[in-house]
Chain A
Amino acid sequence: MSQGIEANNMAAQPGEDERVKRVSKLRKAMVRPELGAICGAIAVFIYFAFAAGDTGMFSAEGVMNWGVVSAQFAIIAVGACLLMIAGEFDLSVGSMIGFSGIVIALLSVHYGWPMWASILMAFAVALAIGALNGYIVITTRLPSFIVTLASLYILRGLTIYFSIATTRQTIIGGVREAAEGDWLAPLFGGKILKGLFTWLGEAGVIQTYAGGVRAGQPVVDGIPMLMVWALAFIIFGHILLTKTQFGNWIFASGGDAQAARNVGVPVNRVKILMFMLTAFCATVFATCQVMEFGSAAADRGLLKEFEAIIAVVIGGALLTGGYGSVIGAALGALIFGVVQQGLFFAGVESSLFRVFLGIILLLAVVLNTYIRRLITGER
């Protein structure tokens, strides 16, 4: 019976498959994992251009305001993004931010270590904890959701305990003074391009203070290192993921760990390294914050893990791993920052931020799921 049909199909065989439609360049350029985040970002900017266009949100000072908040989100989102693509979660990012901050402040202020040594120690401890998270996930084969949920509580508890046990308080100040003259601290708390901004101020491109002690200085006096770090992470993450062998291993580890192992991809190493990267990102975040505020607090970074994950998901990554984009995650972080600060500029009740966030998360995920089906042929 089937013989006839088979012959028919064989006849249609030569040349190109008639059922593969030609795809236009435009469509190919459009259909990408970041599309949802790009649309979201444009929508958000248009909305605030109308709702808060005349409030100074898009003046140099305003841009710096939401730019810094977006950069904060971006730093942790890049780590969370690569880890999620490698097939794992890290819920301990927020606790890690609090923990690293307290480590730096305790060592430098309370124990009198030089600032550079305190910072390096915080990074060393964070990388070790990240590696431990990864190691436990790999050896126990438990979901990373559970393992890092445990770390979330353990780290937060330890942070508060260490802080109170040594200084009897949960906020440790005096970091700025301790960082004075240190060679490493400006890498996190400093600003670059100060000369350019002074010049821009003098040239009248950006506003200058009219009076007070800073009269004549530009309102924005440089690019904070936080933003530089964010940009560096985004570029590094994007190139690593899309242009290198290791990037292919990240996709493979999250896509199908067993299939990846079969062809010799060192899946365990990839996953542990990605856990270390999220810990590293959290510590960069913490160090910048501690330098900016001049203090560390045990409750810093609360809920940051979820905000990072939301930014990543808005950016088009798949919660189950194997698919996503660093650029998308960065746009997710931008949407976050603009909305959070923009509602303030627009004079909207700030509690609505979460409502807005929930809605945009839902919309982004629906759109991203659709796009992903187009790209990957999932059914």
Chain B
Amino acid sequence: MADTPLIELIDIEKHFGSVIALAGVSLSVLPGECHCLLGDNGAGKSTFIKTMSGVHKPTRGTIRVDGKEVVFESPRDAMEMGIATVYQDLAMIPLMSVTRNFWMGREPKKRIGPFSFFDFKTANAVTMEEMRRMGIHLREPDQAVGTLSGGERQTVAIARAVYFGARVLILDEPTSALGVRQTSNVLATIDRVRKTGVGIVFITHNVRHAMAVGDRFTVLNRGKTLGTAKRGEISTEELQDMMAGGAELAELQSSLGGTV
């Protein structure tokens, strides 16, 4: 793996009035790695990814892209540097076709005389190809996104971000609303994208999903990082304990007789 992180966030703090949402969080993403950001609800995951994608400006701390210090004034700034976020609600419009969704806002055009038209031929061909590369076999590019499963919609959103130049892909709980099969599809997609050299930040509170694809793991608890561990250095149980802050969950686990 390359040495310079695509993006590096150092000691990020974010205060909302008197509430300290983030109290010193650090994380870096290398090309081609899947960095899992774990944390329970309220740990500060959302605030942190919004800082990373330029929605919030950090109160304190440094952000570096390709080793150079940057300040994101808006999400657009972050997007221009290749940092794309796929939010939980996806920004897909179910009534519209896959192609129309894929190209929304960046429609390819062809000119006929003085008029310019949506170039559906190119758009459909690219969409089909990108979907195929992600392992989704569309019946036809003009089928509505609403006919796709939740996992497939995630994949369309990911493929769209990658196609339009994402180098760092922030996935906000992509598996939290999915069934087993669909989760495995999304994890497979993450693996595919990672192999193309894109860095991925995979936000989840499901340790098993994280262990399935993660290269590194950072656990967030009450606005602080509890450290970053590499794959193989840490067990599922340890991650689970760190996330929940320990003791109680361990007790619950033993009474349930397995991993929560």
Partner-B contacts on A (CB < 8 A): 2, 5-6, 9-10, 15-17, 20, 22-23, 28, 243-245, 247-249, 251-252, 255-256, 258-260, 262-265, 318, 322-323, 375-378
Contact = CB atoms under 8 A, between A and B. Distances in A.
Given A244-B117, A377-B147, A322 B93 contact: yes
B107 A248 contact: yes
Nearest to B164: A263
8 contacts: A6-B181, A9-B180, A20-B139, A255-B95, A259-B91, A260-B105, A263-B105, A322-B95
A262 B139 CA distance: 27
A248 B109 CA distance: 12
Size band of the interface chain B makes with A: 20 to 34
Contacts of A375: 144, 147
A269 to B, nearest CB: 13
Nearest to B160: A263
B96 A255 contact: yes
A23 B142 CA distance: 13
B181 A263 contact: no
Contacts, number: 89
Interface string B190-216: 000000000000000000000000000
Contacts of A318: 95
Nearest to A17: B137
B180 A6 contact: yes
A378 B96 CA distance: 12
Contacts of A251: 93, 95-96, 100
Interface string B122-164: 0000000000000001011000101110000000000000000
Contacts of A256: 91, 93
Contacts of A6: 180-181, 184
Contact of B118 (A5, A22, A244, A252): A244
Nearest to A254: B95
Given A9-B184, A245-B118, A376-B146, A263 B94 contact: no
B104 interface: yes
Contacts of A259: 89-93, 104
A64 B104 CA distance: 42
A5 B180 contact: yes
Contacts of A260: 93, 104-105
Which 5 A-B pairs rank lowest in CB-CB distance, beginning with the nearest?
A: A377-B147, A263-B105, A255-B93, A377-B146, A245-B107
B180 A376 contact: no
Contacts of B106: 263-264
Contacts of A258: 91
B104 A265 contact: yes
B175 to A, nearest CB: 13
A17 B103 CA distance: 24
A17 B182 CA distance: 12
A240 to B, nearest CB: 10
A322 to B, nearest CB: 5
Interface string B75-103: 00000000000000111111110001001
A304 B89 CA distance: 39
B104 A377 contact: no
Q: Which of B105, B107, B109, B115 counts the most chain A CB atoms within 10 A?
A: B105
B116 interface: yes
Contacts of B147: 375-377
A378 B118 contact: no
Contacts of A262: 91
Nearest to A263: B105
Contacts of B116: 244-245
Nearest to B107: A245
A264 B93 contact: no
A151 to B, nearest CB: 28
Nearest to A8: B181
A248 B106 CA distance: 10
Contacts of A376: 94-95, 144, 146-147
A248 B118 contact: yes
A252 B117 contact: no
A265 B96 CA distance: 15
Contacts of B120: 243
Given A263-B104, A376-B95, 11 more contacts: A9-B184, A245-B109, A247-B118, A249-B105, A251-B93, A255-B94, A263-B106, A264-B105, A322-B96, A375-B144, A376-B144
